[in-house]
Amino acid sequence: MSDLNSLQQWLVQRVSETEVREFLADTLLALCRIDSIPCPNIADTARREGEILTLLEQTISHYGLSGALERTLVPESISKHPFYTFPHYAGRADVYAGRSNLVYLRDAPSATRSDRGIAVNAHIDTVAPYFTPYREGERVFGRGACDDKGSCAIMVAALRLLRELEQRFDVCLSCDLTFMFAIDEEMGGNGSLALALDERLGERYGTMVVLECCDGRVHPGGRGAVWYRVEIPNPGYGTRDASPPEPAAYLRLYNPVVLALEIIREMDREGAAIRAESDHPLFPQGPVQTSPGILGPFGEHPARVCSSISFVLTAEKPVATVEQLDSRLEAGLQEYIRRYGDKAAKGGSGGSAAKLQRHYDLHPASSGEMGLTVHGLSGHMGALYENDNALIKAAYLLKDVEFVSMKGGGKWGIRLINGDDLSPLVLEGGQGFVPTHSMEQIKSRLSAAVQRAYRRYAGYTWKRMPYFRDTTPALSFSKLHNEAYATDPDSQAVSEALLAAEAAGIEVHRPPAAWEVSSDARIFAHLRPDLTVFTTGPGKLALAHSDQEQITIPELSTSTAMLTLFLLRFGGFHGSQSGAPADSL
């Protein structure tokens, strides 16, 4: 029988060995090769999810600690729960028929079972766009590499190490284990909601560990997030039987692109005010982000920082010169840089391989027109300040440009390249917040910001024109809506997790802070206030959702050691044959 110190030494050494490192890399690459972005074709989505679950089942069965593997269906009844998020990628509510989460269940021996049941949760879905995974030396690149298939890989590896511990040292855990591989986290958490509402599973655990790209750190709390959608009417939309104004008149009276930029700036200012008010002891880093992700055809996801947007600017009068335009763009750029820093000077942060070469390109498009492309750095909205949001930058770049819709004349018309002139112009994004504010307060603040922007724009454009009286932007919050949460940072589970991280070689900050991102952890924390809930896991947030999403093999191996050590430290262990207690815990 071995004591904790000898088990710890063996684990730290074992995860550094080539066999385990290659196992982690191969498992992750195999997971990333399967595209798990939910799409409108539900049969195809279910098929690809099934391929991932089969891969996990086969790998755990072959390498892992013995236990039961179950596919648990997502019941239709969750659609009635306040935490349910309508699956907009499919546009209908019956998308979960035949789709499952995967759970692994390991019961501790009844004679030695402790009351410290532990659950571990990670998600298998990813955001768009997919790209083929590959390996370069110690790095694995691929969609989901750090968010969140790397976490799935370390769960499998932890079960392999627990099996080796049982065989080599004759020890087994004294607690029940419940491992969850969930679907649909990225669009709102419906997979984990189904798991959290499962009373049979809930009886098995009193501690929930949610694995995300936390750079290995332990976070006893997480910020909230709400996704918003603003529909800005276009001329002719909804009035196709009427005669819309001629294009020239439209440019003089109303331009939805200019209004969208006004809304982005006003929401950015309101977000800065919310951030200044967000004083919470578990959130010293102030993780409050106001991040537009999509405008018209530009951007892929409400929670992904938009990396590029392109406009066409049209000179109304010959007096409008490129030099004057460029001068005004530079003035707006400096205001943006004062707020968000100059990423072109510093390059990408957070370990990103991306570098921002320049902020924008301005070039002749055709007679009397200029093309403007604004560049940024993509990534997770939670890493807004490490990345570079092209939509926010464009709103400030164009702030001082005189548009033809503005009172007192003006010089330039503007439109989006490849934009739709008849359908509403859609702006989507996310607002992060901490427990100092409720979700309803955040929604109210954003709504007020949109109305202020609209009134300001109407004040110097076309408010007296009857044709445009019904062009009020429509704001909705029908997608992801996650409350913030905080758990006791002094709980024994969190304390043991910090010790496990230290032993694995991960830098530990005390006191621990909450995570600056929203995750499925908040579902379990709010539905089960008796639970201790924290997040940890491998990978860097700045790389999640990015075009260079990646993770290093050392990150995977150290987090595998940390998770396995936490299960031993907090769950306890005994001799598998004798039932004798292990030495000192």
Residue 318 confidence (pLDDT): 57
Residue 319 confidence (pLDDT): 55
The reply to whether 584 falls in a domain is no
Residues 250 and 393 in one domain: yes
Residues 124 and 249 in one domain: no
Residues 237 and 176 in one domain: no
Residues 387 and 528 in one domain: no
Residues 355 and 446 in one domain: yes
Residue 461 confidence (pLDDT): 61
Residues in the chain: 585
352/371 Cα distance (integer angstroms): 29
Residues 74 and 156 in one domain: yes
pLDDT at 52 over 90: yes
Structural domain boundaries, residue 398? 226-481
The reply to whether 197 falls in a domain is yes
The reply to whether 583 falls in a domain is no
For 216, counting Cβ atoms within 10 Å of its Cβ (0-12 exposed, 13-18 middle, 19+ buried), the class is: buried
> Is 349 in contact with 340 (CB distance < 8 Å)?
no
The reply to whether 582 falls in a domain is no
Residue 369 confidence (pLDDT): 85
Residue 353 confidence (pLDDT): 43
77/523 Cα distance (integer angstroms): 16
Task: Indicate the number of domains in the chain.
Answer: 2
Q: What tens digit of pLDDT does each residue of 169-221 get?
A: 999 999 999 999 999 999 899 999 999 999 999 999 999 999 999 999 999 99
The HSE-up count of residue 460 (CA atoms within 13 Å, CB side) is 16
CATH number at residue 117: 3.40.630.10
**3-class secondary structure, 551:** strand
- Which of 51-60, 526-535, 567-576 bottoms out in mean pLDDT, i.e. has the lowest? 567-576
Of the residues 481, 500, 518, the one at which a domain ends? 481
* Residue 544 vs residue 410, higher pLDDT: 544
DSSP single-letter state for residue 79 = G
Residues 130 and 23 in one domain: yes
Of the residues 438, 458, 481, the one at which a domain ends? 481
Of the residues 481, 501, 521, the one at which a domain ends? 481
Q: What tens digit of pLDDT does each residue of 525-546 get?
A: 999 999 999 999 999 998 999 9
Residues 441 and 292 in one domain: yes
The reply to whether 274 falls in a domain is yes
What pTM did the predictor assign? Answer: 0.80
pLDDT at 242 over 60: no
Q: What tens digit of pLDDT does each residue of 123-144 get?
A: 999 999 999 999 999 999 999 9
Question: Residue 406's closest CA among 298, 264, 296, 261?
Answer: 261
- Enclosing H/E stretch for 12: helix 4-15
pLDDT at 326 over 90: no
